[in-house]
Every structure is written in C-alpha cells, then in structure tokens.
Amino acid sequence: MIYRKRGCVARWEHGRLVVVREAGEAIEERGVFEVRPIAGEIDARLDDVARIAKPFRHPNVERLVVSHGVAEHECNGVRWREESRRLHIAMTHKQHRVLIDQAGFDYEEFLQIAGPFLRAGVERDAPPRIRLAPNVTAALLPHLVGVAPPNVRLMQSGGGLDGNGEEIQEFCVAPGATLPNVFRPSYRIRPVRMPLNLRLESDVDVIDRDMPVAVALLAPIAGLMLRVLVVEIHRAYPSTIRISRIDAVDRDRTWYPYGAGAFGSEIML
C-alpha cells in the first residue's frame, strides 16, 4: 500500500506565525512501514491566522494556537482533499486552568467559557443532576469506547473517507467490535484502527435546561472522571464529576477535534 500526502498549514502560537508546506509518502509492504519526503506542493489560500488570533489574546490566556491547514491525499487509487481549522486555548485564573478546543474560530463560544471561568468561586461538590455542554461531551466520547454507559449508543458517523481512502461506515461502536476504519494523523505514522467521528445516541432526547451545566474542562479527562467548570444560575465553580449513567442526549450536534473526531451534543446525567 502506498499513501501520499501534500499539504500546507499556517499556525500562530506565542506571537509567532509559522507556515509549513510538506509532501511525503508512506509505503507498507509485507509488514515493513517506510516513509520519505516527495516533491510537489498544493495550491491553497490560507487564513490570516495572526489576525484571527487577536481577539483571543486575553491576559489570562496562557497558550493560544490558531491554525488553518489544507491537505491532498492519495491512497489505493483514491484522491481526496481536506481542510481543517483549529483553535486551542489554555486559560488560567488563580490556581485553575481551563482548556478550550474548537474546529473553528467562534469567539462567542470562547466568551461563553471565559466569562464564567474568570468569575469562578471556590470548588464545590458536583450537583446531583447536571448537563454537559457539547464541547465537554465531545471530549468525553473517545473515553467511552468499550465502556459506554447503559441507555446510550456510541456510534461512528458514516460519510467521508478514512486514512486509507475507504468510505467511513456508519457503525455501532460496541465493546469488542472489530472497527472497520482507520485514522492516519500523519503520513509518518502507521494508520490506527479506531472509530472516527463519534457521536452519542439515546432514545431519550429531552434535556432539562434548568439544570446546572458543565461548560468546559479544567483538566484532561482521566477515564470517566471529569474536572469541569460548572455554571449554576449566576454562579460558577470548579467541580469533579464521574460518568456512570447518561439519561438523555440532545439531537443537535457540533463537530470537535477530539480523537479522530467527535460530534458533541448536550447530554444530561
């Protein structure tokens, strides 16, 4: 199998703009995996990521990465083109740090997290019933593979092509199931068999929006334990929750760049 990739990306981080153009191929034959650079580049107009970064440059932002990339792929006689926009923010306040990852440059979504975070009070116990915002759910989904709680179904969303140029199948990610598709984060890495574009489904989709809501992560997820920023009426506070049961899943979904992609929706615990 021969896989080729040509791409370019503009990345703004720590006040520096870096534009990278590269092309390479991966050859896998009889269990041997080799990679090497190749000639050629693609024609693509990249966003002005330095300008896009300006409104996000808050004094409390510890790390800010804004990127826009375009790539052309070729594998198994199939050619396809992908475009990606990514925003990563780590913001600090007192002894806490909030993590924000988006597949775009939505400033309003940033404000919906930054506002409560900067006025957050002392840590509290998690409320007995709580909602998770779509961005938090999306970060959780890769951790549910093999351990999905009862009352929900973890699904791979069909559509598009995987890292070998094969169609991504609609697939229920049940424990022990053989995964049909592969993810290729780089031409330098062997493709990994894993679920792509995860989503969560439930027969119950009615969400009580008077419940407190976890709007952002305060640390990377560890198993089914989440350290989150909770908004409850007019107050905000850090808390830790454990996922044991999911009671409802909203049908509206937004794609986030977690794992090999995840569609986050509001869920109720």
pLDDT given at position 146: 86
Provide the percentage of residues in the chain whose pLDDT is more than 90.
Answer: 91
Helices (H), 97-157: 107-118, 134-140
CB of 41 closer than 8 Å to CB of 8: yes
Tokens for 160, please give them.
């598009």
Question: What's the pTM?
Answer: 0.93
Please provide the average confidence, as pLDDT, over all residues in the chain: 95
- At 34, the amino acid letter reads E
Cα–Cα distance, 92 to 103 (Å, whole number): 21
∠ CA 245-263-166, nearest 5°, is 120
CB of 197 closer than 8 Å to CB of 210: no
pLDDT tens for each residue of 49-85: 999 999 999 999 999 999 999 999 999 899 999 999 9
pLDDT over 90 at 7, yes or no: yes
pLDDT classification of 267: cutoffs 50, 70, 90: very high
List phi, psi (to 5°) of 201. -125, 150
Cβ count within 10 A of residue 147: 11
